[in-house]
Amino acid sequence: MSQKTTSTKQTVTLSDGSGKTIALPVLPGTAGPSVIDIRKLYGESGYFTYDPGFTSTASCESKITYIDGDEGVLLYRGYPIDQLAERSSFLETSYLLLFGQLPSRTQMEEFRESVTRHTMVNEQLNFFYRGFRRDAHPMAILVGVVGAMSAFYHDSTDINDPHQRLVASIRLIAKMPTITAWAYKYSVGQPFMYPRNDLGYCENFLHMMFAVPTEEYRASPVLASALEKIFILHADHEQNASTSTVRVAGSSGANPFACIAAGIACLWGPAHGGANEAVLSMLAEIGSVDRIPEYIKRAKDKSDPFRLMGFGHRVYKNFDPRATVLRATAREVLAELNIKKEPILELAVELEKIALQDDYFVKRKLYPNVDFYSGIILRAMGFPTSMFTVLFALARTVGWIAQWGEMMEDPERKIGRPRQLYTGAAHRDYTPIEKRG
C-alpha cells in the first residue's frame, strides 16, 4: 500500500499483486487518526475489509465526542471532561451534547423547564412493573419499560420529523430518572415516588430513589453534586458498543424508544456497562489485600476466564480520565458520609497499585476504566449493586440520543449492514434422510 498527497487530497493505493490497483481517498478529522474511505473498495476491487470488533474501523463521522486513548483525553463537543465534571451540570452537559454549544442562560432555563415538564410517565406504564418478579434485575425492567414507551408516545415516533425527534429526546432524558427509580422501588416493595418540579435533575432522582411517602426527604447537596459528576462522566463516549447498537438500530428507521432499549440491552454486558456491577462482585470475592496476588495471577492466566473487571479499554491505553475524576470523587463522598474506613475502596486502591506494577498489565496498557471506581461511590451512596448499570444507562441516554439524532440528520445515512468472511460449507445438494448415514 502506498500513500500519496497531492496539493489538496491524500490517497492510499492498494494493489493485490495482480497489476490492478485502487486509489482510496484519505479523509482527515479535526483531531485523531485520518480515515481511509473504503466505500468504493468492494465495488471496484471485489474485496471486503475484515475487522471483527471494529478495532481499526470508523463506523461514522461524528462531531460529538473525541477520545485520545494514548493521551487519556475525552472531549464533549471540544470541552475536556474534567472541566465539565468540575464546573458544569448534567443538564447543561446534556444540552451541549445534544445541540453542540454550551447554552445561554435563557436556553438553559428553557431546556431545564422542558425536561422538568416531561419527568412524569404515562400512568399506564406503572402497570408494566407489576408484570415482573420483585427480584427481576432492574436492567431487565429497564429494557422492557423503555421499549414499551414506543407504545405510549406515538406523537414522537416519526423519525423524519425533527420536532418529534426533539420531543422524543427530551422525553427520554426526562423520564429515565423516573423509570429507573421506580425499578428500584419495585424491587424493594416500596411505593413509587413521583417526580417533583421543584427539584433539580439529580436531586429529583435521589428523591424518587430514597424518599418514602411517610416523611420528608432532602438529598444531601454533596451527594447530588457527586451524582451530577458521575452522570456527566458517563454521558457519552463516541462509538462504544451500546452507542453503535443504537446507531445500527436507528439506521433501520426504528423509533427512538426502541433504539434506546437496544442500547440498554447492549450496555448490560459485563464487558461494557455491566462492568461496574462486576467490579463490586470481584472486589467482594477477592475480599482482602492478601488475596490480590492470587487474582492477579488468575487475570493473567489465559485458561482462566477471570478478568480484572474495571481494567482495560479498547481505546484508552492510558488512564481513563473518568477513572481519575471518580477516584477523587470516591474519597469526597466517603468523607461526606463520614465513612472513615471503607475496606472495599482500600482494596481497590491496592489492587490498582499492584496491577499497575505488573508487567502483564503495563505491557498491555491495561489501566482502570470508568467502571473501576464508580461502583464504590454508588455503593457508599446507598445504591444496590444491581442498580449500578441502570445509573450508567440513565446517564448514557443523552449520549445515545445525541448520536442517534446526529445520524438521523446525516443526509448520507444508510442502513448498517456489514458483510462477512464466509468459511462455511461450499454449495451442496440436499440429501433425503433415508440416504444419510
Active site amino acids: 313, 371
245 binds ligand SDX (CB under 6 A): no
Longest dimension (CA), the chain: 81
308 binds ligand SDX (CB under 6 A): yes
311 binds ligand SDX (CB under 6 A): yes
- Cell digits of residue 28: 482527515
* Selected binder of ligand SDX within 143, 148, 299, 391 (CB under 6 A): 299
Angle, CA 404 vertex, CA 161 and CA 97 arms, to 5°:
105
- Cell digits of residue 261: 432499549
362 binds ligand SDX (CB under 6 A): no
371 binds ligand SDX (CB under 6 A): yes
Give every CB contact of residue 41 below 8 A, 6+ residues apart in sequence.
14, 22, 24, 47, 48, 49
Pick out residues in 15-34 that bind ligand SDX (CB under 6 A).
Answer: none
| Sole window of 94-102, 132-140, 307-315, 375-383 interacting with ligand SDX (rule: CB under 6 A) | 307-315
Structural contact between residues 118 and 170, judged by C-beta atoms closer than 8 angstroms: yes
154 binds ligand SDX (CB under 6 A): no
352 binds ligand SDX (CB under 6 A): no
* Selected binder of ligand SDX within 212, 294, 364, 409 (CB under 6 A): 364
H-run or E-run covering 402: helix 388-408
210 binds ligand SDX (CB under 6 A): no
The sign of the dihedral angle between the CA atoms of 344, 348, 353, 355 is positive
391 binds ligand SDX (CB under 6 A): no
| Sole window of 111-119, 175-183, 270-278, 416-424 interacting with ligand SDX (rule: CB under 6 A) | 270-278
* Selected binder of ligand SDX within 32, 158, 217, 272 (CB under 6 A): 272
How far is 396 from 273, CA to CA, in rounded Å?
A: 10
| In the complex, least distance from residue 57 CB atom to ligand SDX, rounded to whole angstroms | 13
Q: Name the nearest CA neighbour of 408 among 226, 303, 179, 254.
A: 254
| In the complex, least distance from residue 371 CB atom to ligand SDX, rounded to whole angstroms | 5
- Whole-angstrom CA distances from 325 to 70, 90, 171, 261, 371 are 18, 15, 29, 29, 12
298 binds ligand SDX (CB under 6 A): no
Please state the φ and ψ torsions of residue 129, each to the nearest 5 degrees: -65, -35
| In the complex, least distance from residue 108 CB atom to ligand SDX, rounded to whole angstroms | 25
| In the complex, least distance from residue 413 CB atom to ligand SDX, rounded to whole angstroms | 22
Task: Please identify the residue of the shown chain whose CB is closest to the bound ligand SDX.
Answer: 312
Residues belonging to the chain: 437
How far is 381 from 374, CA to CA, in rounded Å?
A: 11
Q: Please work out the total of residues on this chain that contact ligand SDX, with binding judged by CB under 6 A.
A: 22
Burial of 31 (0-12, 13-18, 19+ CB in 10 A): exposed
Structural contact between residues 191 and 209, judged by C-beta atoms closer than 8 angstroms: no
| Sole window of 14-22, 144-152, 272-280, 336-344 interacting with ligand SDX (rule: CB under 6 A) | 272-280
* Selected binder of ligand SDX within 237, 247, 327, 379 (CB under 6 A): 237
> What mask of x and - would describe binding to ligand SDX in positions 47 to 66, judged by CB under 6 A?
------x-------------
At residue 11, the 3 state secondary structure works out as strand
321 binds ligand SDX (CB under 6 A): no
307 binds ligand SDX (CB under 6 A): yes
| In the complex, least distance from residue 66 CB atom to ligand SDX, rounded to whole angstroms | 12
How far is 191 from 226, CA to CA, in rounded Å?
A: 26
How far is 261 from 284, CA to CA, in rounded Å?
A: 30
* Selected binder of ligand SDX within 116, 324, 369, 389 (CB under 6 A): 369
Structural contact between residues 67 and 73, judged by C-beta atoms closer than 8 angstroms: yes
397 binds ligand SDX (CB under 6 A): no
Around Cβ 207, how many Cβ atoms within 10 Å? 22
317 binds ligand SDX (CB under 6 A): no
H-run or E-run covering 176: helix 162-188
Which residues in this chain contact ligand SDX in the complex, by CB under 6 A?
53, 237, 240, 271-273, 275, 299, 307-315, 364, 366, 369-371
